[in-house]
């Protein structure tokens, strides 16, 4: 009898995925998975090019996939302030003339563009960020930063604009940054077990917070996991996802982000 090869799974390597990964790793379902961690743009590339069967994928990639199914009731989302997807600057947003766009991220880039157009109604020149770009945020040049790299930057820059907060004020909705999808048909029994494993990880969040070291003395892990990241893919988030994807489908690409979808 030929053994069934494990399903290839890739997930974002940020702090906010740790509870979900913890659930998968401690569950017997891990025996049927080959797991990989990557930055959002690499997760998107793997699923787009067929190198992954299951992915915690940045949602901006979804319109580019010929077929996908969202297979989980859990996501990386926020209902208001997200804390780790922000615009930073030395001056108020209305005085910014240029904004660096985090090269790891197209979902956040598209969200930034949407908010600048619809909510802040402020026009800027976008700059493609390269490694080390955070050190070049100064004067009237702002920058979008996502993920663990944001931690501590609120102590460095006087002006911080949380994109989760701005989206909530603009639409009244929560937001979905990444969702679990598959590009193939999976048995419902597997999907049910997969969801149960993720739930198990979230149920152990209080214990996990004690095991994870804080990445910065000023960063409150408990507040982050319980007040900023919202893991339930509920009706409000699904509505928000459709609202956001309708913008993504019609927006013009910006620079190299036309072929580098991300978180």
pLDDT of residue 253: 65
φ/ψ (deg, to 5) at 100: -70, 140
Mean pLDDT, the chain, as a whole number?
91
For the chain, which domains are there? 7-77+175-250 (3.40.190.10), 85-173 (3.40.190.10)
Is the CA virtual torsion 166, 47, 190, 22 positive or negative? negative
pLDDT band at 119 (very low <50, low <70, confident <90, very high): very high
Q: For 138-184, write each residue's pLDDT tens digit.
A: 999 999 999 889 999 999 999 999 999 999 999 999 999 999 999 99
Please tell me whether the overall predicted TM-score, pTM, comes out greater than 0.95 for this model.
no
């Amino acid at each position: 009898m030929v053994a069934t090869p494990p399903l290839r799974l890739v997930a974002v390597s940020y702090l906010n995925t740790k509870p979900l990964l913890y659930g998968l790793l401690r569950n017997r379902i891990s025996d049927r998975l080959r797991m990989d961690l990557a930055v959002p743009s690499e997760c998107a590339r793997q699923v787009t090019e067929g190198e992954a069967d299951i992915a915690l994928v940045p949602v901006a990639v979804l319109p580019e996939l010929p077929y996908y199914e969202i297979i989980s009731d859990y996501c990386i989302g926020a209902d208001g302030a997200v804390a780790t997807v922000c615009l930073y600057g030395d001056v108020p947003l209305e005085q910014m003339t240029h904004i660096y766009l985090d090269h790891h991220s197209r979902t956040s880039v598209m969200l930034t563009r949407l908010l600048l157009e619809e909510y802040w109604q402020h026009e800027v020149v976008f700059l493609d960020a390269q490694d080390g770009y955070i050190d070049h945020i100064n004067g009237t040049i702002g920058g979008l930063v996502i993920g663990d790299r944001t931690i501590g930057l609120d102590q460095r820059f006087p002006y911080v604009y949380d994109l989760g907060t701005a989206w909530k004020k603009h639409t009244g909705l929560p937001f979905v940054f990444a969702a679990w999808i598959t590009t193939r048909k999976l048995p419902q029994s597997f999907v049910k077990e997969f969801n149960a494993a993720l739930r198990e990880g979230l149920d152990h969040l209080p214990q996990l917070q004690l095991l994870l070291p804080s990445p910065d003395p000023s960063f409150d892990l408990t507040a982050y996991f319980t007040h900023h990241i919202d893991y339930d893919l509920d009706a409000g988030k699904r509505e928000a996802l459709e609202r956001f994807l309708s913008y993504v489908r019609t927006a013009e690409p910006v620079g190299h982000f036309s072929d580098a979808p991300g978180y």
